[in-house]
Structure 1
């Protein structure tokens, strides 16, 4: 499941829900909402 999250993609965390789940991120000009469990699979270099 790439969803545009490939190596070299800039990702910005826009908002985190009050209990920490879900997260809203911006990448490649669109907004994406991820569960924390999904976001934990993103590797940051």
Structure 2
């Protein structure tokens, strides 16, 4: 599943990122914010308009607004809340 498909309120770990699908400057910015394999993320909010942009992603103690096209480049594994 990709990050843009994660249900609101669910936590996941980033399994992989398709850096080639992103513009190099955007990829560099996302890496600087901590978006890389192994990072724990949570979808906090999904936009209400037709494109459902932006997505509010909690990563660490930050909340970052991402476009769906960026979130779509990230494969995630949903976290087991019982663990």
TM-score of Structure 1 vs Structure 2, range by shorter chain: 0.7 to 0.9
Moved over 4 A (4+): none
Q: Distance in 2 between matches of 1:6 and 1:38?
A: 12
Residue equivalent to 2:47: 17
Partner of residue 76, structure 2: 44
Larger Rg over CA atoms: 2
For 1:37 and 1:7, locate their aligned partners in 2 and report how far apart those are by CA, in whole Å.
17
**Two-structure CA RMSD over aligned residues (Å):** 1.1
The offset of 1:42, in angstroms, is 0.9
Deviation at 1:39, TM superposition (A): 0.8
Q: What is the count of residue pairs matched by the alignment?
A: 45
- Which structure 2 residue ranges, 5 or more long, are not aligned? 1-26, 78-83
Instruction: Give the 3-state SS of the residue equivalent to 1:38 in structure 2.
Output: helix
Instruction: Find the residue that maps to 1:13 and give its secondary structure.
Output: strand
Q: Structure 1 unaligned segments of length 5 or more: list them.
A: none
* 1:8 equivalent in structure 2: 38
